[in-house]
Amino acid sequence: MTETSARTDHAHSPAPPPDTAAATPPDTAPADSSAARAADADSTVPLSIPPTDGAAAAAARRALLVACGAAFVAFLDLSVVNIAFPAMTRDFPGTAASALTWVVSGYAVAFAALLTPAGQLADALGRGRVFLGALAGFALTSLLCAIAPGAEWLIIGRFLQGATAAFLIPAGLGLVLSVTPPARIGVAMAAWTAAGGFAATIGPAVGGALVEWFGWRSVFVINLPIAALLVALGLRLAAGDVRHGGGLPDLVGTAATALGIGGVVAAVTQGQQWSWADGRTLAAGLGGPALLAVALWRSRRHPRPAIAVGLWRSHRYALVNATAFVFGATIFAWLLAGPLWLDTVWQYSVLESAGAMTVGAIASMVTAVLAGRAPDSWQRWLGVLGALMFAASTFYMSTDIWNATPALWTAWVPAGILGGGGIGIILTVLGTAAAKSLPPQRFAAGVGMNLTARQSGGALGVAMLAAVFAAHPTDGLAAFHTLFTLCAAVAVAAAVLAAVPTRSEENL
């Protein structure tokens, strides 16, 4: 998932986040073989155009089916954990809620830090082998989460699960794009993205049902049979593995990225509990950015960087990533706060909470489809509209209209439609802009980097939630209202970034 690896056979990396909303993928595939002609002049591995005979078509369908299944299960896990989170807090009463937020942010940190080097490693070792190994690892780490005897083991399991998911996504998508004819890449990407969007839409309902009937551990157990089926279907995919030379990714830069993101998140998450002047808070708060600076410095010089900074030469693409980072913070906080509000303030059952959360998910899916069909000239202002819709929703949730008296139809449903609809619009706009900012052979690397930015921002958003709740330990309503006010402010900042005009792009 670097500039180098992305120039091999089209590219490999994920599309919009399943933890939030379905997004209509941009139609970035060329109509003919122009993708092959678009390769960089310095590309050492030519883009291969797979044969279009029956056997090749069957292999492409199999690869797409397995990759879509992997995307579905990885992204489903994000949304169902939010629904299961209140039940987890009750099962571990001795663990502070702020510490338990690592169940969500730990997955995001590992996923964001390892996504780019995972794609490079898949190229070096063989995408099929890495994909199948990641599937097995995802199943094992899911099992670890399911049987975790304590909160610490659950958090460790989620870190490891996020790491395996980071390998699943680029390796699986790389397999698809390497066997798909250029004229069919747009269709394949639409199907792959739809799998993630579908997971986001049904996640609340599936998670609610599992938690209600079998307990929160079942949201991890369900991954095992799905992963086993996908491994069985994908065994043939590793048979024709082709290894692309170039060596291993920058391990030092990767470690610095993971520790840097984790340090910043730790400082925000634990600062209230440790005290902001505590040495641990200062070490994490100062050391995290310093390590990220090291990772960025190395990425500018290393042939296989941990962060694909070369893509930021596109002004438009860099701005899209900045917007994704900022908006990621507010949507992750909102998505986790929703189930917590329904559980602790309105005393909803798990199934009732799941039904309520589905309102925003469906609204997001509808607006994503509409935004994806809008003319290019509308895209920038649609992004602004989506961010402002979300800001209006969260500002509404910060008012006294939202109180201890349940008000599903007069409070929750309007906010869910407005906020979820805004998410669907802006995520679709960001995904489209990320793809169209780059040439076809860098599409996957570019969308992957965009997802990394969003996951990094999301981890910081969950940390923001933890800090706010730690600051209001005895006044839940004040904590929620403060959090929603912050979410609204961050969404406005994202709207400002989305409104910034961009110049005509240079070729990368």
Encode burial over 24-44: b for 16+ CB neighbours within 10 A, e otherwise: bbbbbbbeeeebbebbeeeee
Closest C-alpha among 66, 167, 69, 67 to residue 126: 167
Instruction: Give the pLDDT confidence of 388-445 residue by residue, as tens digits.
Output: 999 999 999 999 999 999 999 999 999 999 999 999 999 889 888 877 777 766 666 7
Domains in the chain: boundaries: 3-250+302-499, 251-301
Q: Which two tokens stand for residue 31?
A: 């109509």
The confidence score (pLDDT) of residue 504 equals: 54
Written as one letter, the residue type at 450 is: N
With left for phi above 0 and alpha for psi between -120 and 50, is residue 379 left, alpha or beta? alpha
CA distance 267 to 265: 5
CA distance 341 to 255: 36
Name 64's Cβ contacts closer than 8 Å, sequence gap at least 6. 176, 180, 188, 191, 192
For residue 141, how far is the Cα from the chain centroid? 18
Instruction: Give the pLDDT confidence of 82-110 residue by residue, as tens digits.
Output: 999 999 999 999 898 889 999 999 999 99
The residue to which tokens 């010089």 are assigned: 301
- How many Cα neighbours within 13 Å face the side chain of 65? 16
Encode burial over 122-159: b for 16+ CB neighbours within 10 A, e otherwise: bbbbbbbebbbbbbebbbbbbbbbbebeebeebbbbbb
| The length of the chain, given as a count of residues | 508
Burial class (CB in 10 A: 0-12, 13-18, 19+), 438: buried
> Residue 254 in contact with residue 115, Cβ under 8 Å?
no
Give Rg (Cα) of the chain: 21
pLDDT confidence of 290, banded at 50, 70, 90? very high
> Residue 455 in contact with residue 321, Cβ under 8 Å?
no
**Architecture of the domain whose range is 3-250+302-499:** Up-down Bundle (1.20)
> Residue 433 in contact with residue 505, Cβ under 8 Å?
no
Q: Which two tokens stand for residue 282?
A: 């200062």
The confidence score (pLDDT) of residue 342 equals: 96
The confidence score (pLDDT) of residue 263 equals: 95
The confidence score (pLDDT) of residue 331 equals: 95
Q: Decide if pLDDT at 236 tops 80.
A: no
Poorest-pLDDT segment among 96-100, 237-241, 288-292, 336-340 = 237-241
Instruction: Give the pLDDT confidence of 52-63 residue by residue, as tens digits.
Output: 467 777 878 888
CA distance 448 to 444: 6
> Residue 3 in contact with residue 442, Cβ under 8 Å?
yes
pTM check: above 0.85: no
> Residue 305 in contact with residue 298, Cβ under 8 Å?
yes
Find the helix or strand (DSSP H, E) in which 287 lies.
helix 279-299
Closest C-alpha among 58, 72, 118 to residue 240: 58
With left for phi above 0 and alpha for psi between -120 and 50, is residue 193 left, alpha or beta? alpha
Percentage of residues of the chain with pLDDT beyond 70: 85
When the pLDDT of each residue in the chain is averaged and rounded to a whole number, the result is 84
Written as one letter, the residue type at 416 is: G
Rounded to a whole number of angstroms, the distance between the first and last alpha carbons of the chain is 15
Name 228's Cβ contacts closer than 8 Å, sequence gap at least 6. 139
Q: Which two tokens stand for residue 280?
A: 């641990």
Instruction: Give the pLDDT confidence of 180-211 residue by residue, as tens digits.
Output: 887 777 677 778 777 877 887 788 889 999 99
> Residue 389 in contact with residue 327, Cβ under 8 Å?
no
